[in-house]
Structure 1
Amino acid sequence: MASSSANPPTQAEREPIVRLNPIVQLNDVHLTLASTAGPVNILRGIDLDVMPGERIGIVGPSGSGKSTLLAVLAGLERVTSGKVQVAGGDLNALNEDKLALWRRSRVGIVFQSFHLIPTMTALENVAVPLELAGARDAIDRARAALAQVGLAKRETHYPAQLSGGEQQRVALARAVAPHPALLLADEPTGNLDGSTGHAIIDLMFGEAAKLNSTLILITHDENLAALCDRVVRIEDGKVKAIETSPNTASRQQAAD
């Protein structure tokens, strides 16, 4: 009997292929708000899938719906219709209390205006979401997060005693301290000078990489968007284009 000449399967061929599910799935998302002039269509049929660990830049003109889209992803704004599946949660099916619990454990948000509590120290600002989540080591984790962003010596300072860049570092520490699966940033450098903004972006990308968090950020800066894996262009409440960023394409070519 002739022996088979076929090569045995390699270990990679024998092992099952693990297919990751998107961490963000938006299907035909619409959001319409009432106004004195009549209904205003903010989002008009958004479709978007984001894979775990991706870095996504969202760009578009003012009033295009970028910040509203981010609010939808954070569970801060409810859609009129469409599927919103984010970080393991069907956001349309969650009431306000369950949304708050989901957001506390799954999502970190960095706002342009920092949104720090003025009567709390840097350490207390970072510890608050951890304490609300019931973390017994909230203070230790908050202290570690501040150290990660270079503010170990500023933890007892109040927001008014910190520069704009330092306040944004506190906001970033607060966002990453719970180790979120999804990190959202809305114009995180909008209120900062150029060099300070670059430092914040380096920190944000670095922290997201350490945590293996998916990063979605809104920006008007094309150079900043190009640092992401993909760029989503929004106009008039619709996705006009999704592009692989030039930097990502260069990295892929170098790897090949």
Structure 2
Amino acid sequence: MTLSDAGQPIVQLRDVHLTLASTAGPVNILRGIDLAVQPGERVGIVGPSGSGKSTLLAVLAGLEKVTAGEVAVAGARLNSLNEDGLALWRRSQIGIVFQSFHLIPTMTALENVAVPLELAGAADALPRARAALAQVGLAHRETHYPAQLSGGEQQRVALARAVAPGPRLLLADEPTGNLDGATGHAIIDLLFGEAARLNSTLILITHDDALAALCDRVVRIEDGRIHSVITPAAPARRKAAE
């Protein structure tokens, strides 16, 4: 089910709960999350390990079904969509960058970026994939396989793959977690730059408070609940855009 976009947050979570079964009994991962994100906003999500950050991202991407509550993201009520509907919605609306790249090892950089475009039926999948790789500085590496690329280059390919379809919402889960400091900062610059270029909303999950402070708001999650929401100082956000 789609929603009217007029005046709507791009993300609206109301009293979201997610409980998973385990051998020790039910585990409450998310415990009543209320969150609204406006189009074009940059939101950082922080919190200790096991607090529910990555699970929240999976909910926003339609990769996890909530136990209770309402989830409306990028024009759709996710509660009402089946797996096929979620896949179609995700393909056109969402770009995801993971910590571990998730590239297909038997495909070149160009082919990895072209895959979601081809699945969406884009007739110009290869030209758009080439343009996306050029945008992240990898035009000269399009015929290379993931094993022939450095970690930073692999993450650039993953970013190109995420932005090539022109998503309304970019989700990044610890995108610098497997990278050294300098490479990680370069990836963050590209991530924010691409979000700005596409006018996409960005939700960034990170353990690094300094990275989160580059966002418009920082949401801290503890024990499956929103503990606090702060607005970082404007100079930090401006520095990220320079």
Alignment map for 1:1-256 (pairs within 5 Å): 20-247=7-234
Identity in percent = 83
CA drift at 1:19: 6.7
How well do the aligned residues superpose, as a CA RMSD in angstroms?
1.3
Q: Secondary structure at the match of 1:190?
A: coil
Q: Is the 8 A contact 1:229 1:248 kept in 2?
A: no
Instruction: Tell me the TM-score normalised to structure 2 length.
Output: 0.95
Q: Is the 8 A contact 2:108 2:143 kept in 1?
A: yes
Q: Deviations over 1:1-28 (max 9, x none)?
A: xxxxxxxxxxxxxxxxx97310000000
Alpha-carbon distance between aligned partners in 1 of 2:28 and 2:10, rounded to the nearest angstrom? 26
Amino acid at match of 1:241: S
Q: Deviations over 1:124-164 (max 9, x none)?
A: 00000000000000000000000000000000000000000
CA drift at 1:250: 7.8
Q: Is the 8 A contact 1:26 1:82 kept in 2?
A: yes
Instruction: Tell me the TM-score normalised to structure 1 length.
Output: 0.90
CA drift at 1:62: 0.1
Q: Is the 8 A contact 2:14 2:35 kept in 1?
A: yes
Alpha-carbon distance between aligned partners in 2 of 1:48 and 1:60, rounded to the nearest angstrom? 16
Alpha-carbon distance between aligned partners in 1 of 2:196 and 2:130, rounded to the nearest angstrom? 20
Q: Is the 8 A contact 1:58 1:217 kept in 2?
A: yes
Relative to structure 1, the CA distance from residue 250 to residue 119 in structure 2 (aligned partners, 3 Å threshold; closer, same or farther) is closer
Q: Is the 8 A contact 1:126 1:177 kept in 2?
A: yes
Specify every segment of 5 or more residues in structure 2 that has no aligned partner in the other structure, as ranges.
none
Amino acid at match of 1:80: T
Q: Is the 8 A contact 1:226 1:247 kept in 2?
A: no
Alpha-carbon distance between aligned partners in 2 of 1:239 and 1:152, rounded to the nearest angstrom? 41
Alpha-carbon distance between aligned partners in 1 of 2:129 and 2:237, rounded to the nearest angstrom? 37
Alpha-carbon distance between aligned partners in 1 of 2:138 and 2:216, rounded to the nearest angstrom? 29
CA drift at 1:249: 8.5
Specify every segment of 5 or more residues in structure 1 that has no aligned partner in the other structure, as ranges.
1-17, 252-256
CA drift at 1:247: 2.9
Number of residue pairs aligned between Structure 1 and Structure 2: 234
Alpha-carbon distance between aligned partners in 2 of 1:49 and 1:79, rounded to the nearest angstrom? 17
Q: Secondary structure at the match of 1:189?
A: coil
Q: Is the 8 A contact 2:113 2:129 kept in 1?
A: yes
Alpha-carbon distance between aligned partners in 1 of 2:213 and 2:84, rounded to the nearest angstrom? 37
